[in-house]
Each structure stands twice: as C-alpha cells, then as structure tokens.
Structure 1
Amino acid sequence: MSDDSTPTTTTPSAAPAAREHVRGPRKGRPNGQWAVDGKSPLNHNEEYKQEDDGLSVRRRILDTYSKEGFDSIAPDDLFGRMRWWGLYTQRAQGLDSSHTGKSDAELSDTYFMQRIRVDGQILSTEQVRTIAGISRDFARNTLDITDRQNIQLHWVAIEDVPELWDRLDAVGLNTITACGDTPRGFLGSPVAGIAADEIIDPTPLIEEIRERFINEPQFTNLPRKFKTAITGHPSLDVCHEINDISFVGVRHPELGAGYDLWIGGGLSTAPRFAERLGVFVRPEEAADVWAGVISIFRDYGYRRLRNKARLKFLMADWGPEKFRQVLQDEYLHRELPDGPAATSNGTPADHVGVHDQKDGRKYVGFAATVGRVGGDNFARIADLAEAAGSHRVSLTPHQKLLVLDVDPDKVDQLVEAMAGIGLQADPGPFRRATMACTGIEYCKLAFVETKGLAARVIEDLDQRFDGVPLDPPISLNINGCPNSCARIQTADIGLKGQLLGGEFGFQIHLGGGLASKDREEAGLGRTVRGLKVSSEDLPGYVDRVVRRFLDQRQGEETFSAWVARSDEKEFV
C-alpha cells in the first residue's frame, strides 16, 4: 500500500487562473468540494472519514473486535468504516416495514452481510469451492449473486471474519472497498477474453486498475461510492449507462480497438444516465483516464449533502464538454482524440444459453432465481463444471452465472445437471428476466420482501405464459425500497417497494430499458400517479399488462415502445 496521497499521473497542476476558470464563481453555501472549498468537513460522515481512513479498521477487526465481540465495536466503525471492508450490519429479524426508517442502531442485528469483491474476474473452481465453504461454515449457507457481479453472504459473526478473510486471501480474493465511499467492485464483461465476437479483452485494464489504485488511500475518501463498468463485448453487457464511469469497447477507424468513455450514471431516487465524453481511449492510457475521472470526483464532488454527493450531480452541473476539459487540462495534461459511439450487436447481454468461444469450446449461461444460489449449490457448480471439462466460472451483472470452457460434447450433460440444482440454461421468460434486491429479509432500508416474492411470482408467471411467445422477455425488476439496487427504472416492469397511501406495496415503473438491439437509447420507466400493487396481486397485475401489450402490439414493437405510445388507462 502506497503512502502517497495522490498519484503523479492524476495530480491537478494547472495554473491557478485556469483552475479558477474551471471552478467558476462561488455561490451560496460551500458544497464541500475539496478543490473549491477546502477540506473542512461539513457533516459527520466527512468527519469520521478524515479522522481515520476506512481501510484502517481492518486492524481493529483482527486485533480487537473479533476477539472481544460485537459489543466492543465503536459506532463509527460499526456503521461507517467497516463498510470499507465489505461489512454491513444486517436487519434484525422480526422487524416489519413499520420499523424501516429508524436509526441504524435500532434496526441492526449483531450479524453482518459480507460482500466479496469479484471485479468481473473469472473465478476458478477452487475459488468457487472456497466461497462455498465460507458460506456453509460462516454464513448459514447463504450466498447470493448480486447485480454488481459480487457475492453476498449473510449471518456473518464478527468473530469469524478473520478466518473468512484468510480463506479468501489464500485464493486471491478479497473484500477491499466492497462498500463505503470508495471505488466499489467493478462490473466487467463475464466473457472477457472468451467470446468469439469480442471487440477487445478488458481483462488487462481491470487488472491494471486493481493493481495500481485499489486499496490505495488516495481513493478511499470519496464523496460517495464510485461504480466502474468495463466491457469489450458488443452486447453492451455491463449496463454502462448507469455507472459512474464506463469503458465500452469500440473500434476506431484509424486507431484500432479501444474504449468509448461514459461518465456520471446512477439510479436510486434521482436517476440519471451517463453521458459520453465523445473521446476514444486507447487501451494503454485507459487506467490513467480512470484515475483522472475518480480524482475529479474526489476533488470536485459535492460532500455537504449525502443525497447530492454522487458523480452524476457534478456531471449534471458541468456537462460533458466541461468535464472533458477538466479531465484533459488538470489531470491528464493532454487531449484525448474524438471517437465513435459504442453500439449493440443485438445479442442478449445476460449471456444465458449456449455460446461459442474463440477457441472452439462453449460457454453456457445459467439463470439462478434472482441470484439466490446458496453455498451447497455453489460447491456443486464447481463439481459439475469440472465434469464438463471446465475449471472456470463467471458472474454477470444480471444475477446470472456462466460456466466457461465447456467441451462441446458435454454441453447437454452440463445443462441437464445444472437444471437439477435449479440453474436453467433455457429458462422461462420471467425466470430469465427477473431481478430482485435483498429486500426486507436482511436490508435495513427495505419495506417489502423481494427474493422469496420473486421466486413465487416467477413460478406463477412462467406457468401462465407457458407457450406464449415473449421475444424479447419482459424484464421484471423488484426492489424493496426506492433506492433501485435492482435497477427498477431500467426494467420493462419495475417495482419499487414503499409506503403508499398508508399501506406497504409497490409503485409501478413501466417501459424502462438500457440500449440494446431493440432499443437504440436507454430510457427511464414511466410512472402512473397513484398506481400501486400489493405483493399478493403482483402476478395478476403483470399478467394483465403483458397480455394487453401482446394484444395491442404493432409488428415487432417492444414493450417499452408500447408503453411510450399508450394511454395510462392501459396500465391499470
């Protein structure tokens, strides 16, 4: 770990006059922008981050908290710095929706959610078995694949964290900055270096950023979380429009293969899509560009109000032209060439099904039910992969799992065996296209159940629509609160759990989506004021709206296009 506070490649060094031109005149209250207002903390979150770097809590976890128990943990560590190592207190059991909104201390159990950072890397079957063993030994067999391509465990006791970390370290995995105001785990193409139709392999870029900048104090005190997505696959398989920074593979007519750069995306309660800077990023300079962008966020991001601290708010105020100017002038000290926009080749971004690799073997994508797998099944996946000639598995940003390097003559064997543990290579449309967040089972922010509800809804809807052509499938994203961890605004049908008219239920978002073959541009879902649905009524509501779409569909019209042109009465 370096002691340097800022990398030489990203240190702002423009003349004062130029920097003042970039900042513009100061207006009103300070926003906590370090480069403008100085570093004086404007809220308690900023105070505890300056008092002690979040990474430093590791030593206290190992030497004190794991030995003296949960009650020994200092509050700022418990509800703050421990997130820098992927640990959140989970919701205490038995607290229903009426408790949501109370303080962390009132809602928290004495157990933790532990997030394991994957960064889009391909997992060996040894790593898969290690994670499965951790799940069984320390997490009551819980194991979820998240839509950030991470592994999430529950019921972790502080006493078990040191051994949990040791086991991960032994196989090259970790939990560093898996949460907190840090560069979170990356989304990376799950078929990096594998797919026959790949534009560029992003693996070297991901590895370079990890090696140079992750676990470095220069980027462990950001205004809020910073999400990265990197792909070289033409299916646009990392949801690039909704990340803080995305590198998307393109071919420049003169410079060859490289990346299209997108900045400032994010959902939650104030959704905003990322914007292209219009530049072409050469592979050899992409890590420096990443460092420049995250440095802008660190130095110019808004820190006064937590709900205005994401990079998307700075991008909204600056716009792409100014952002590009600051990046080039203050941080890179060179201009970036203009470049072409990335476009989808129309193949499904979830990679479910059987596909060709560059080397003649196959990769097979499987749908778990909203990412819920469990430790026992995760170990079984390693066994079944090896029986099919594979030693490698990858996860997707759509809560799916891929087995790579499958012998072509063993594909059918693998597909049948995986179906036996609930993983489908040819799933029904709703099993394939439904995602769900953690929900009230473990999350302190949630109002409603999600994972179990989603499983019941999927089973119901796939029976109702058995034999009904749904191409492409209708995506159904279920979220337990307004924060959109399950990307509700970018689903065909998005469900936001909240208090509605004195009752807990779901607000409906309709017609959202990300760029694909069937949709040239990303779009946020449409809401209908006053429209809500209960958990019990959810399958019937989805059935009614989807059949109405099928009845009124014009040619190959998509669900989102139908929503955009239809009257609100069609959505009730």
Structure 2
Amino acid sequence: MAQTRIAPPPARAEGQWALDEREPLNANERFKLEDDGLAVRARIEDVYSRDGFASIPADDLRGRMRWWGLYTQRRPGIDGGRTATLEPHELDDEYFMLRVRSDGGALSAAQLRTIAQVSVEFGRGTADLTDRQNIQLHWVRIEDVPQIWQRLEAVGLSTQEACGDTPRVILGSPVAGVAADEIIDGTPALEHIARRYIGDPAYSNLPRKFKTAISGSPHQDVAHEINDVSFVGVVHPELGPGFDVWVGGGLSTNPRLAVRLGAFATLEQVPEVWKGVIGIFRDYGYRRLRTRARLKFLVADWGPQVFRDVLEQEYLGFSLADGPAPPPPPLGRRDHVGVHPQADGRFYVGAAPVVGRVSGPLLAQVAELVEAAGSDRVRLTVEQKLVVLDVPATNVDALADGLEALGLAVRNASTFRRGTMACTGLEYCKLAIVETKARARELVFQLEERLPTFDAPLTVNLNGCPNSCARIQVADIGLKGALAGGEDGYQVHLGGGLGLTSGLGTTLRGLRVSAHDLPDYVERVARRFDEQRQDGELFATWVHRAAEEDLR
C-alpha cells in the first residue's frame, strides 16, 4: 500500500491504523490484539468442548467465539425490563445461537438437509431464516460444536466469520444467474470474494462488522442502501453491464443510507474493489469508540469523493470509470415469492414462511420437496423467505402444493405474510427488550383475518431493541421494542423504505403502541392508507402527505 496519505486526518485520534494509532482503545480492540478471533476454534475443539461451558473465559465467550458464528443466548425467564441492568454473565445462558453462513443465500438440497439434521439433533429443532440470508439455530451446547462443524463442513457449509468484527455473509440476489430480466450475474465475483477472503487473517480484525451486497437484479433485491459496500447492477453506455459502487450504509442507533461513489466496476473488478474498500475500513476505520466503529461514520466524515480518491490511489492503483446511477426498480414486490419464469424456460418458486421462523423438521421436508421437483438449488432472501430454482414446468404445481402444505405460502400469499419481518427478540437475544417472533406471527394472522382483501405492498418490521437487525428504519411500519409504563410496547417508525421509496422512516412524537394494541394500530393505519391512497401510490409516499391523526 502506498505511503502517501491523501485522506484528511480527523480532529482527534480515532484509533486509525493507517495513522499509526494502534493502541487498543476499547475492550474489544484489546482482546483482538491479544489473539485473532479465528484462533478460538482450536480452543473450542480441544478445551471448551471437553471441559464444558464453565471453562470458557469471558474474552472468548462474549468475544472471539463470534468469529465462528457463536453467541450465548439469553437465559430464560429474564424480562425485557432487566436487559440493561444485568451484567453480561447474568444474561448468559449456557447455550448458544449458531449462525450458519450461506453467501448469496445459496444452499443445495444436501446442505439444507444437513442443517435440518443438525437442528434436530443439537438445536431442539430450532431454525430461523434471517434477513442476511443466514440460518440461525439455538440451544447449541459447546460440547456439540466440533461435531456440528464436522457435519456442516462435510457438505461445504461453514460458520466462519458469520459474526464478529469480520466480513459477514455476502448478500446476493437469490435469483442470480436465472432471472429473465437480470442485468448481470454477480455470482462469480461473490464466490471469488468468499473463497479468497473469508477466513483470511488480513481481514479478520476490523473495527466492527463489514457487510457486503452484490446484485445484478433490476429489482435491487439485496438492500444495497444499508450495507457497508454494495455493487448494484447497471449498464454502462460504453462498457456494458457492470456494477455501480455504493459505500457507507448501516442502520442501528445511527442510521445512514449508503452513498454512490460515482464509480463503475466491471464484474472482473468487483473483488479488487471489495478488497480495497474493506482495506480502507481496516486501516482508516475508527477504533476508539465502538459506537463510531462502522464504515458509515468514516464515509460521512470524508465524503464520497475523498473516499473514492483513497480507494483508487492508495488501494487499487488505477482509476475506475465513472458510471451511471442505477434506474429505480420497477414497481412491485421484490421478495421473489410466487412462481416466476427463468431465462432457461424453467421456473423459480418463492415461498414465504411467517417472519422467517421455520424448524429443523420443516427444512428436512423442504429438502425432500426440492429434490422431488428435480432441483438442487435453494436460495434464501433478505426478506426472510426462500426460493427454489430450476424447477421444470411439469413439477411446479406439485412443489408449490407441497410447500403450501408445510405452511410456506407460494400462491396468493397475503401482503402481511410477504411483508412482515422480525428479529430474534426476547426469546433468545440478550439485547432485546420485547418479544418479536411470536408477536409478529400473531400479528400476521390477525391482519390476514381482519383485512383479507388488502393487497397493497406493505412492510411491517418488528425489532426487539434499537439495533435494527430487522431494519425498522427502512420499513413502511417499523416497530422498535420499548417499555411503556412497565408494559411491552413499540416505538413506531413510519414511511421508511428501500428501492422506490428509499429513505429513513420518521417517528411521531409520543407515539408508542402497547403489545396488546399492536394489531389494532396496524389495522387502523393500513385501513386509512387503503381508503386514502391514490392510484398506484405506495405507503411511504402516503405517509408523507397524510394528516398526523391518520398515522396514530
């Protein structure tokens, strides 16, 4: 890397390695300096799995083990009001959430069946599809982790860097390479990055997590606006199909949407550009305060032009072509639910579990249906859905019928089943304040019963804390867990969105909805929107012109 620095230094030391500020400035930086997170695997296999939970020291238990997809889950019986008052060891249960990594959401039938078997044998049958194209299991014992890894890795799966201050799972279009309207297939770049850089110690100590999205779909189906780096399919007037480069997106308590660099990357350039962006984050990212350690803060301070200059001059060694902005996605849903033609004459079939909650036995049944349909490719989506690719026309109906018999809606899935997401919530998460999964599931069923003819696109996202794992700020109706008078409730964000309505939602002063009143509130606002909307008007657009009393 060149020694000449063109980036402006911050007003105060922020722990940037490129500026020789390498002192560990917080507890996380200290334990990462003492030992690389990836090295914990040997201790798990050789010590902790044999000596049990009590043998795990705190820096490994609540730190380095995340580098291998393991988080301690919440001890049962601790209500949300105590989340912020208890010490970490008081919240810890002696069981783990295990996150199985699937870059691009790509799974074979054999991989899906293996995850199902692991869930049943080691995770009490639990499984959740996440909005990061992962599958999460619960109730995992440390004693079983080496055997779980052996099972997963035998079919090409891994939990490596599924969590931690690392390059997390790479989001990809679930219909990459098959969609009839695709601009460009980003799969070769995605696979190259995953194969070459995931597990590389050169990128295993980042200031915080690093999120990537690559999609050549005109539907912009990977939430590119809220990732650290995204590659969005576009057609360059001289260079043809390629990718527009975006950086600096992220939500949590300080949400920011990504910005365009104005740079065009060919498919072949994407891995090198990715390496440059993550290199900037590693070297220039802020490490002094955990709350400012995401790339979005650096991008906000530098601006896109300085960031592009540093990328090209210090990391790439060449200039990227200027490129066009991606056009707005077409009107309509982009969750891939339903039956859709592929470019090769076969079909892909998208199914909607309720808020991503599935199970080991259900996944095993899905694997059987996939193989019976003549397919071997399943894809997870960023909407907590799943898609089966490569289905011959003669097998579509049988597959759709089979999925629907399992409770996975394919045809005529309601708006509420398609558009509602929820994070892990109080059931397992140590950060949560309120329940989410069960409550969101009941909300979907209530709304389907109360509003059977409501057919406008509507996203309703429930999150158990302010960290926004379920993307509350970019939902039509975002519900953030909060306590109101000692009762579970939700602060409401309205009018956020991605794609056509890209932007952050707004909150109404003093508006908190109790858990008990949640179905009534969502029904009331949805009815008002349905009554007042103009032809083709989206919910987020209506929110910004609606009277305040109609939003309460």
TM superposition score category, shorter chain reference? over 0.9
Q: CA deviation at 1:414?
A: 1.3
Q: The residue matched to 2:214 in structure 1 has which SS?
A: strand
Which residue number in structure 2 is paired with residue 488 of structure 1? 472
Which residue number in structure 2 is paired with residue 34 of structure 1? 17
Per-residue deviation, residues 173-194 of structure 1 (Å, max 9, x unmatched): 1001000000011111111111
Which residue number in structure 1 is paired with residue 405 of structure 2? 420
- Residue identity in the other structure for 1:465: L
- Residue identity in the other structure for 1:138: F
1:413-452 correspondence to structure 2 within 5 Å: 413-426=398-411, 427-452=413-438
> 2: distance between equivalents of 1:195 and 1:400?
17
Which residue number in structure 2 is paired with residue 461 of structure 1? 447
Deviates more, 1:499-508 or 1:444-453: 499-508
Does residue 359 (structure 1) correspond to residue 315 (structure 2)? The answer is no
- Residue identity in the other structure for 1:529: R
Residue of structure 1 aligned with 2:510, choices 530, 533, 543: 530
Does residue 244 (structure 1) correspond to residue 228 (structure 2)? The answer is yes
Per-residue deviation, residues 517-569 of structure 1 (Å, max 9, x unmatched): xx3xx111110011011111111001111111122222322111111112322
Which residue number in structure 1 is paired with residue 314 of structure 2? 330
Residue of structure 2 aligned with 1:183, choices 167, 172, 178: 167
Relative to the length of structure 2, the TM-score reads 0.98
Change (3 A) 1:398 1:474: same
Residue of structure 2 aligned with 1:163, choices 131, 147, 163: 147
1:23–1:36 contact (8 Å) kept in structure 2: no
Which residue number in structure 2 is paired with residue 276 of structure 1? 260
- Residue identity in the other structure for 2:414: G
Q: The residue matched to 2:72 in structure 1 has which SS?
A: strand
1:14–1:329 contact (8 Å) kept in structure 2: no
Which residue number in structure 2 is paired with residue 386 of structure 1? 371
2:422–2:463 contact (8 Å) kept in structure 1: yes
Per-residue deviation, residues 108-144 of structure 1 (Å, max 9, x unmatched): 1000000000011521111111110000000000011
> 1: distance between equivalents of 2:550 and 2:171?
36
Change (3 A) 1:302 1:291: same
Aligned length: 549
> 2: distance between equivalents of 1:393 and 1:381?
9
Per-residue deviation, residues 168-219 of structure 1 (Å, max 9, x unmatched): 1100010010000000111111111111111111111011111221101111
Which residue number in structure 1 is paired with residue 276 of structure 2? 292
- The 4+ residue runs of structure 1 with deviation greater than 6 A are none
Q: CA deviation at 1:502?
A: 4.8
Q: CA deviation at 1:484?
A: 0.5
> 2: distance between equivalents of 1:213 and 1:391?
26
Which residue number in structure 2 is paired with residue 61 of structure 1? 44
- Residue identity in the other structure for 2:48: Y
Q: CA deviation at 1:248?
A: 0.9
Relative to the length of structure 1, the TM-score reads 0.94
> 2: distance between equivalents of 1:146 and 1:27?
38
Q: CA deviation at 1:27?
A: 2.5
Q: The residue matched to 1:548 in structure 2 has which SS?
A: helix
Which residue number in structure 2 is paired with residue 372 of structure 1? 357
Which residue number in structure 2 is paired with residue 4 of structure 1? none
> 1: distance between equivalents of 2:302 and 2:476?
31
> 1: distance between equivalents of 2:29 and 2:137?
28
Which residue number in structure 2 is paired with residue 5 of structure 1? none
1:99–1:107 contact (8 Å) kept in structure 2: no
Which residue number in structure 1 is paired with residue 533 of structure 2? 553
> 2: distance between equivalents of 1:415 and 1:175?
30
Report the identity percentage. 60
Q: The residue matched to 1:13 in structure 2 has which SS?
A: coil
Q: CA deviation at 1:283?
A: 1.1
> 2: distance between equivalents of 1:336 and 1:153?
41
Change (3 A) 1:246 1:220: same
Q: Could you say what the CA RMSD is over the residues aligned between the two structures, in angstroms?
A: 1.1
Structure 2: runs of 5 or more not aligned: none
> 2: distance between equivalents of 1:54 and 1:357?
42
> 1: distance between equivalents of 2:453 and 2:548?
28
Per-residue deviation, residues 342-382 of structure 1 (Å, max 9, x unmatched): 12133532101111112111000000011111000000001
Per-residue deviation, residues 326-353 of structure 1 (Å, max 9, x unmatched): 1011101111110011121335321011
> 2: distance between equivalents of 1:370 and 1:503?
23
Per-residue deviation, residues 215-251 of structure 1 (Å, max 9, x unmatched): 0111111000000001111110000000000011111
